[in-house]
Structure 1
């Protein structure tokens, strides 16, 4: 904030023109694990991010590297086409697919954007356009925007000075996913996770850490409202997960997504998650090519994406780590081989 109290932006004049190296670092930071803080983030990532954070009203921060004006809807629907092809291959193996897209922070928390900053009409319409396209493909895509909108107004939907959605939002989306995975459609015995009580932890959000020291201090620390850890139930005879969640740090255990899903469907839920620069395509392959999948395929896979990265296909060099970049055909070939 300025001395007059007017919200300001700390971002480059053309935030969408970041060079590839810088964008990779920012995406890695965006999906860095909350529980470990940012100690594992390279210093060069912090330096790169100092001009790519939007400071909004009420000391809220937004990721400036996710464009609010370029809708990229056509690219997003192409990604859904590839997801649909993948889901068809999974279905042939008897595995259901549910797609979860974490909305832009600016979409769910528009009220704290600074003056003069808003989503373009194309970006505003993009999420509904994606859901409509998914429906036309008979692809199950959760309405995460609606789920998050239903979070108790007394609770944050996204963490004020952090990239991630809140624990309450994570659980709301998990409940929406559960409606696509009704218990009567899932085989196996009961065995849902137990949820601990809510607690508060105080630390700097990851976006705040990208700011210069004086701004970081002015923004202050966030109050992370998360569940206390409850010991997991012992699996009977090593029973494997009925549902596997595959995604990035939005679905990490710290924010409670897999535990909440397990609780609602009353089944064991597994989790495979990676940093944001690995990307959702390689993350799925990490699971499908793993011994865990080979030994005990799940009945359903919940595949999570970030809206701000949704337009990036497997071949998007500069968006993903070099080891994650591949053509669409190469990705599908590896999926086919893993499912054979």
Structure 2
């Protein structure tokens, strides 16, 4: 390198540093501190450091460039997402093996049977809505990465275990597969189902519950209205950190049409207010598939059942923890429902749950009944000639 080229290289390097310094200083000036922040106790420095680290341009540049290389060269994102064909994304929870997965399955099934028993003691019918994995519904969009062997028959095995336990669990896979010809039943860039997929499941559950005459309350009519179609940034796009430099590389956003369900009689109170002084017909418990209003699953279920319901589903807690919390609630003790619909995605069955918020003796009692039943069933099968 000649003397002139070395000078030019140094000048360009210093220019880039100066530009980054100005950019960083501008971001540093935008920091907003809480009114009680003090310089003496270090809170001021920590707040500024946290803001600066978040807004530091070199960090953002490096993150974007590295993510773009992974995505373009290897078709990969950050841990949490599996990149499929035609801009389809999948949660890696549906693919990866789980440490002690078989034991976790046994423990979780024991809890499911224990929940069934606790509900049965109060003459409450449990209906299990086992949600098939997105990768099971759309295997045509999978690339080289395939689900772990333990997940191959997870949906079928879960159903078989429910049947042996005498739990009503209608098949949701077949109606969802049939509905695919009419539109997407799961979102392309999101973990969750579409409002249409949620409606298909709700209709299947409604036919099952009505067919078995599990509800004794007077029918109530509901209507569903559709809103405008808007772009929806799926939660799986968070594992492709390409914004803002390479946002054009991201899969296009999904299109989501919001649906809203309300009583046919507009003058009639809706939602949980209906149950202030009356018996609760249906309780819905589950995950973000039921808790998030974007999918309108509770609304579709109300319309299909011709019955209102109370929704005890929670975001980010899995299916077991909201159910255990519901069974411990004052609402359950004072106003038990006739039917409990438990929305339970199959991918959660092998996962370990943190049950530290609950009484260990109560959890042990639930598991004990379910485990004893499982052992008796296994022994019976072994003894069969």
**Common topology (TM > 0.5):** yes
Q: In 2, distance between residues paired with 1:135 and 1:307?
A: 15
Greater share of helix residues, 1 or 2? 2
- After superposition, the Cα gap between the structure-2 partners of 1:68 and 1:51, relative to the gap in structure 1 and judged at 3 Å, is closer
Contact preservation (8 Å) 1:247, 1:274: yes
Selected match of 2:315 from 266, 275, 279: 275
Structure 2 unaligned spans of 5+? 1-66, 368-385
**What is the CA-CA distance between 1:282 and the residue it aligns to?**
2.4
- After superposition, the Cα gap between the structure-2 partners of 1:192 and 1:324, relative to the gap in structure 1 and judged at 3 Å, is farther
Between the two proteins, the alignment pairs up a number of residues equal to 288
Contact preservation (8 Å) 2:95, 2:148: no
SS in 2 for 1:85: helix
User: Given the two structures, how large is their TM-score scaled by the length of structure 1?
Assistant: 0.74
Structure 1 stretch displaced more, 102-111 or 222-231 = 222-231
**What is the CA-CA distance between 1:326 and the residue it aligns to?**
6.8
**What is the CA-CA distance between 1:124 and the residue it aligns to?**
2.3
- After superposition, the Cα gap between the structure-2 partners of 1:282 and 1:178, relative to the gap in structure 1 and judged at 3 Å, is same
Contact preservation (8 Å) 1:199, 1:226: yes
RMSD: 3.2
Alignment correspondent of 1:296: 335
Selected match of 2:131 from 86, 91, 102: 102
- After superposition, the Cα gap between the structure-2 partners of 1:97 and 1:236, relative to the gap in structure 1 and judged at 3 Å, is closer
Q: In 2, distance between residues paired with 1:199 and 1:82?
A: 42
Q: Are residues 1:185 and 2:206 paired?
A: no
Selected match of 2:174 from 141, 146, 151: 146
Q: In 1, distance between residues paired with 2:239 and 2:358?
A: 26
Contact preservation (8 Å) 1:56, 1:112: yes
**What is the CA-CA distance between 1:155 and the residue it aligns to?**
1.2
- After superposition, the Cα gap between the structure-2 partners of 1:7 and 1:296, relative to the gap in structure 1 and judged at 3 Å, is farther
**What is the CA-CA distance between 1:230 and the residue it aligns to?**
4.0
**Superimposed CA distance per residue, residues 243-280 of structure 1 (whole angstroms, 9 cap, x where no aligned partner):** 1000111012331211111111211111011122x333
Structure exhibiting the larger radius of gyration computed from Cα positions: 2
User: Given the two structures, how large is their TM-score scaled by the length of structure 2?
Assistant: 0.66
**What is the CA-CA distance between 1:102 and the residue it aligns to?**
1.9
Alignment correspondent of 1:331: 363
Q: Are residues 1:220 and 2:252 paired?
A: yes
**What is the CA-CA distance between 1:153 and the residue it aligns to?**
1.6
Q: In 2, distance between residues paired with 1:173 and 1:209?
A: 27
Selected match of 1:246 from 277, 282, 285: 285
- After superposition, the Cα gap between the structure-2 partners of 1:271 and 1:73, relative to the gap in structure 1 and judged at 3 Å, is same
The within-5 A match list for 1:5-154 is 8-10=74-76, 50-68=78-96, 72=101, 75-114=104-143, 116-120=144-148, 122-154=150-182
Q: In 1, distance between residues paired with 2:116 and 2:219?
A: 26
Q: In 1, distance between residues paired with 2:209 and 2:224?
A: 19
Alignment correspondent of 1:37: none
Contact preservation (8 Å) 1:244, 1:270: yes
**What is the CA-CA distance between 1:61 and the residue it aligns to?**
0.7
- After superposition, the Cα gap between the structure-2 partners of 1:226 and 1:142, relative to the gap in structure 1 and judged at 3 Å, is farther
- After superposition, the Cα gap between the structure-2 partners of 1:185 and 1:101, relative to the gap in structure 1 and judged at 3 Å, is closer
**Which 4+ runs in 1 deviate beyond 6 A?**
none
Q: In 1, distance between residues paired with 2:103 and 2:217?
A: 40
Contact preservation (8 Å) 2:94, 2:135: no
- After superposition, the Cα gap between the structure-2 partners of 1:109 and 1:296, relative to the gap in structure 1 and judged at 3 Å, is same
